[in-house]
Every structure is written in C-alpha cells, then in structure tokens.
Structure 1
Amino acid sequence: MATEVATMLQLPYESTDSSSKSSVGHRQTPKKSAIKTSPLKLLDPGRSKLTTVETKRIISVLDEAIFKIELISLTSHITEFLDGLSTILGSELQGTLKEHERLSNNMVALLTQLQREGLLKQEDGRGDLVGTEEQIRHLQLHQQAVKSSIRNILRLFQADPLASQAVRDEAYARDLSSEIFIKGLSEFRGFLFEKLLTSPLEEQEKIQFMEEISLRDKKNTETIAALEAELATAIQSRDDEVRW
C-alpha cells in the first residue's frame, strides 16, 4: 500500500488512472511539458543586474530617497551630540547643522506662538493658519529657510561619504516612526528590484508553474484521501470477518 501511494504521488496530476498507462506493445509518447524553463530557475529572477536605463533610474531614485531619509531622520540626534562627531563632520557641516538647529528652533517657537494665539488649528495631523497675510508670509519664510537648510545639509553629506556613513551608523538613535518608514521603503525597493529583473515571459512562466504545482498538490491530496478511505474499508471488512 505504501509503495502504491508513493507511486501515485509521483505521477502528474493529469493522469492517475489506468487509462494513462501504456498498453503492451503500444508505448505512448510522453506529453511535452508546458514549462520550458527549469523549475528552480522559475523561482528566481531571470537576471542579477538591471540592464535598461529606465529600470536603473527607478532603483537609483529609491536608493537616493532612502539615503536622504536615513540622514535627515538623525539630524536632531547629530546636532545634540555634535562635539562627538566634530572630527569626522568637519567645520562646514558642523556650521550648517548648527544653523539648521537655530532655524528649526525658530520655527518651533513661531508655531507654538501661533497655536497659543489660536491662529494655528491642527486637525488630522495638519496645521491650518488663520492669521493675517503678513503672519502667513512670515511662516512661509521660516518654512522655506528650513527646507533650504535641509537641502544644503544633504548636499554636504553627499559630497562627504565618510561623514554620511558616520551619521548612518548612529541608526540606533532614530525614532521608531522613521525607522518603520525606512524599513517599509527598503522592502518596497527589494520587491520592485525583483520585479524589474523579471521579464513578462518569465513572470508568466512562474505563474503557470505555481498553478501547476497547486493543481498537482490538490490531486495528490485527493488521491491520499481516497487511499485512506479504501484502507479504512479494508480494515473494517477484515475486522468484521474476524468477529464472524
């Protein structure tokens, strides 16, 4: 019985009955498999490197975005412990980070004042200013100053790989929300990279392969259930004969 089960499980799902077996003297020609690629290769991307300019550009944009977020999310920590990294960062980066800290503090102070005066209403994580045109303009100038400061910081870090790596090594100090966002973006990058490595034909073959595996598994499950039922019936019949 065990041999029969093993034999049946090795058969393709299309043929498990006696009609699929060759008769004596009439050998059947085996059907050609629909899958032309090796099953092991179907589960891996067709290539290991991107080949087109467009795909390389897509991944490059994601890599740059992750790099920038990793740096900016640690800006507060770096400015707080600036003295410990002064040797690696250099004077220009230190000065830029200190200026950014000053601008950020001014921005926080302005927002706090506007909120205290009832001019800044926050709903769903967003702030709406209901002040005069002069107050709105004043806030916009502060926002532009902070944005320009961030761009300047990123420019200096991109020009200094050692400083960039030193800051990224401080990842333990990153807040949880930024860490989750970076992790999600990195996972998306990996998913997209694999998709870009796989051609439409390879993707179709992979889908077909998985469908065939699923159907074969279903057929094997049905075969096992039928054999178990037959075995149970045979055991029951034997027990009945013994009792009589």
Structure 2
Amino acid sequence: MNLLDDDALERSSVVANCRMNRERRLPGYDRELGINVVDTLRSRRRPVRWLDLCCGTGNALGQAADLLGDDAEIVGVDLVDFFARPQRPPRLRLVTASVVTWEPEQPFDLITCVHGLHYVGDKLGVLARIGTWLADDGLFVANFDVRSIRLRDGTPAGRHLTTSLRSQGVRYDSRTRRIGWTGRRLIDLPYRYQGSDDQAGPNYTGQPAVNSYYDRVSWGLPINS
C-alpha cells in the first residue's frame, strides 16, 4: 500500500472537499458531541475560550459568539478557507491552517472536533497535541473512530489502543464513537505514525474517510500534568 504523508494527504480531494462539518450549526454540534456547547461554556469562568478544530464554515461558532458576546473568545481552525460571515463578531477568529502543525497561543476551556479527525493523518499525534492545549480544568470532546487506526499489516489497533488511551485518562465510547478527557495532559501512546490511506472508503458516517497507519513501539509511561 502506498501511504501518504500529511502534506500529500492534505492535498487529497477526500480531505480538502470533505463535507462532514461544512455547514453544521449549534444544534448539530450538541447532538454529535453529546454536550450543550453554549451551556458548557457558560458554566466556566469569564471570559471563556473555545477552540473548534476542522470547523468548516464556522456557522456554529458564529452562533455561539452571538449568544455569548464578550464572555467568550472563540477560535475555529480549518484546512480550507470556506468560512461564512465576512463580518464576524470581534471575539471570533477563524484560521486557515492544518491541525497537524497549527499552534495556539493560550490554553482553552473547551476544545471540540466534529467529525474532523476522520480526515487527519496522524490522528494520535493530534490527540497528543490537543492534550497540551487545554486549561487545567478544560474539556475536550470529538468524534473518533478507533477502527481508523491501523497497524502496518492493515489490522485495526483495536483493544490495545483503547486500553492505552484509557490508561491515561482518555474516555472513548465505542457506541457513540466519541473521545474526550478533562484537563491538560501529556499523552504518550506506544505508536509511531507511518502514513495514511485516503482510499479507505466510507466509515461509519457513510462518507469517505482516512485510515491512519502506525507501528507499535515499546510502551511509554503516561505523564499527566
């Protein structure tokens, strides 16, 4: 199999044109993430900071900004500049960048990713990076399909991966296919990224997705902070 590196993957039509989260609005976010985004933000100290990765047009973020006003700073990141709202609320920032390389300047109280991880190459690497972007009591929640993580021979990483994740305080629900945790942490997983397959076909959403391939390596001790 010819695996793609992240640069090649991000030029793939499967990734650049994915439709999973392009137009989604706040009720859709609440349904997919299993939380009420605005209520979650309102329950935090002011001003609250929300980062949404693979944000699509940013419709949901604009709605939240209108509801929360100066009480929230909201940042959306997407690989494709397909943002709605040419006139944006002052505390809403939409960034065109790869989630694999982008770095925030400050921690966030809430980080979300609605169906975006399906199109990322080094998914486990991105999860590890997200862990360092949270505030000490911040919340991360995203859609994640553990079957998209494959070993070099093509078999799913499966239970070994979910056990590794849970040992470090990461929650994964195989029924809803949601992943998340609370609080900033350094996530150390025993996998080394090898590349991705953009021809994996549809995943559980019915849309074409990307499988990510890893070698298993010797166990690294989990570190939380």
Instruction: Please give the TM-score of this superposition, normalised by the length of structure 2.
Output: 0.22
Higher strand proportion (structure 1 or 2)? 2
Structure with greater Cα Rg: 1
Higher RCO (CA < 8 A, seq sep 6+): 1
Higher helix proportion (structure 1 or 2)? 1
